[in-house]
Amino acid sequence: NAGVTQTPKFRVLKTGQSMTLLCAQDMNHEYMYWYRQDPGMGLRLIHYSVGEGTTAKGEVPDGYNVSRLKKQNFLLGLESAAPSQTSVYFCASSYAGGNSPLHFGNGTRLTVT
């Protein structure tokens, strides 16, 4: 029972490099999310998707892009990494919105030097 799987677990980038974080869920959930977690800031929503082929901006979308080509996958891209994007990134999924609980992956720790 994998749930939500994020890859990679750790990554170090240099300023200006690009990368893609992959999130996969096997629960047939409609909604998927990308959050970043920073000390003293809690979790902030970057982008989310309410179904295959759809994406929407969250609270802090600048510098990130996302794609949801398949229902089970949600990709987060950084086109030109900046030190301000050093963070722990969490993917989550839920069956629907409203009061459906979120299921989280174990996170990706990204450092941009």
Partner 1 sequence: GNSVTQMEGPVTLSEEAFLTINCTYTATGYPSLFWYVQYPGEGLQLLLKATKADDKGSNKGFEATYRKETTSFHLEKGSVQVSDSAVYFCALSIGGGSNYKLTFGKGTLLTVNP
Under rule CB under 8 A, residue 10 binds partner 1: no
Strands 73-78 and 19-25: antiparallel
Q: Please identify, among the stretches 10-18, 21-29, 73-81, 93-101, the one whose residues bind partner 1 according to the rule CB under 8 A.
A: 93-101
Q: What SS3 state is found at 65?
A: strand
Give the dihedral sign, CA 16/43/30/57: negative
Contact 108, 12 (CB under 8 A): no
The C-alpha atoms of residue 84 and residue 34 are separated, in whole angstroms, by 17
Under rule CB under 8 A, residue 34 binds partner 1: no
Under rule CB under 8 A, residue 106 binds partner 1: yes
The smaller minimum CB distance to partner 1, of residues 75 and 105, is found at: 105
Give the per-residue contact string, 44-83, with partner 1 (x = CB under 8 A; - = no): -x--x-x---x-x---------------------------
Residue 63 has a CB neighbour count (10 Å cut-off) of 14
Shortest Cβ 40–partner 1 spacing (Å): 6
Shortest Cβ 102–partner 1 spacing (Å): 7
- In the block, which residue shows the tokens 């999130």? 23
Tokens of 111: 């450092």
| Residue ranges that bind partner 1, judged by CB under 8 A | 4, 31, 33, 40-43, 45, 48, 50, 54, 56, 90, 92, 96-99, 101-107
